Structure 1
């Protein structure tokens, strides 16, 4: 674990009932929109297409990302989670992990994924069911399950408070077994389910990488359990990981 990776272990006991209520309000863009009504977009894989081009690749750049967003990737970042949305109004996407060696970026792993059920937006607001386009840091993680590798990775908060409400369809009960907070309208260094929103509630929040349920989300990005476990073991605070996310047209702009 890097020097920034102080581990957190928060297990809800007596207050679990009230914490679950808070989670239902604040988890993944502040509404239970990742629940039973979140289905749009299907689960087709595009992992073979993400970040690939017929033009010769520049190894010093993240594939498929134009100057506008490329310049927002911090110079000290050597881990990028790129989310390639199939289209502006599509819930299907591909997550690719890139790692930097010297000045060159290398494609490490990729997974089929989902994003907001209505697609993407450059001006995200609460309950618009679209994922925000942009570059965001990744500093905190957590979930219902224990940290898959307590000796490495991002600071992790284990808590039953992350559990999806049992009023949701059973296929959604494990959505938040693992989550990685996307630092959109949140306070870094706090658990992912901290409800503080510095830009105000109308801008949405609690946007996470979390486990996939096979269809679109409220605004989060979802990948398989194995994908989440790999990211949790691999993302290193000392390497300043970020997520670059959006539909392909906006990413390339």
Structure 2
């Protein structure tokens, strides 16, 4: 029995150390990535429950309503500033009040979440963000109303801060390795369904971070390299729920970071 438990522990350890977000990590981690770990249950990513409810973040939700004219908000609450575990809670404003619609486990950056993101830090950005278009490998799913784009093998998101294409979606038929030092292919399994998070997009500040999306968390993954990820079924649910006429937002942070955003919302 002890031998079996040791084997299970080693398999779980291998699974936890994999990357996600579609991006590859440095070559010295290739041995870890080549392992065939047990798939982690998405429920294992849930933080210790400190529920994000409409009462505790009401000022922040009201700021979304009054400043951004948003009546659909996804709040991503990280377990800590250095944790990759989080919970996504979706709210809608109806009949003069905010109501919780969905709650689900989520994964964020390998090194946690920060308001001071830098390119390559493997962290997710905290803050209040509008959403860009949805995209995916297949055709637009039924009942999806937000703008959607089907990707091709020539679609890339540029991550090289020294390129004029930095933090932009570019369609290019040539060899991307000859044009950019770093880039993100957009037609990959993690982006079966995805939505652009408008981080560092207006204006684009070189080195502040790029290619931040809400996307599918693959079964064998447990963190991202900067994006926010949920299970495929949850991602599809969110895609169908998002309504462009409601100007949806995503708000991310630890409890203390959300509190800081709330305090700024009160001023």
Match of 1:14 in 2: none
1:120-167 Cα offsets, whole Å, 9 max, x none, are 111111011111110001131101122222x5421000013369xxxx
Residue among 190, 197, 203 paired with 1:175:
190
Gaps of 5+ in 2: 1-19, 34-39, 157-187, 261-267
Gaps of 5+ in 1: 1-26, 164-172, 188-197
Match of 2:201 in 1: 186
1:140 aligns with 2:140: no
Contact 2:252 2:258 in 1 (8 A): yes
The structural deviation recorded for 1:110 is 1.4
After TM superposition, the structure 1 = structure 2 runs for residues 87-166 of structure 1, keeping only pairs within 5 Å, are: 87-149=80-142, 152-161=144-153
Bigger relative CO (Cα 8 Å, ≥ 6 apart): 1
Distance 1:148 1:181 in 2: 17
The structural deviation recorded for 1:251 is 1.1
Distance 1:105 1:176 in 2: 30
Structure 1 residues 207, 147: CA separation in 2 closer, same or farther (over 3 Å shift)? Answer: same
The structural deviation recorded for 1:245 is 0.5
Match of 2:248 in 1: 241
Structure that is richer in helix per residue? 2
1:73 aligns with 2:64: yes
Distance 1:144 1:132 in 2: 25
1:199 aligns with 2:204: yes
Structure 1 residues 180, 109: CA separation in 2 closer, same or farther (over 3 Å shift)? Answer: same
Normalised TM-score (structure 2): 0.64
Structure 1 residues 128, 47: CA separation in 2 closer, same or farther (over 3 Å shift)? Answer: closer
Counting matched residue pairs gives: 196
Contact 1:245 1:251 in 2 (8 A): yes
Structure that is richer in strand per residue? 2
Bigger Rg, which one: 2
Contact 2:74 2:249 in 1 (8 A): yes
Partner-residue secondary structure (3-state), 2:237: helix
Structure 1 residues 121, 52: CA separation in 2 closer, same or farther (over 3 Å shift)? Answer: closer
Partner-residue secondary structure (3-state), 1:100: strand
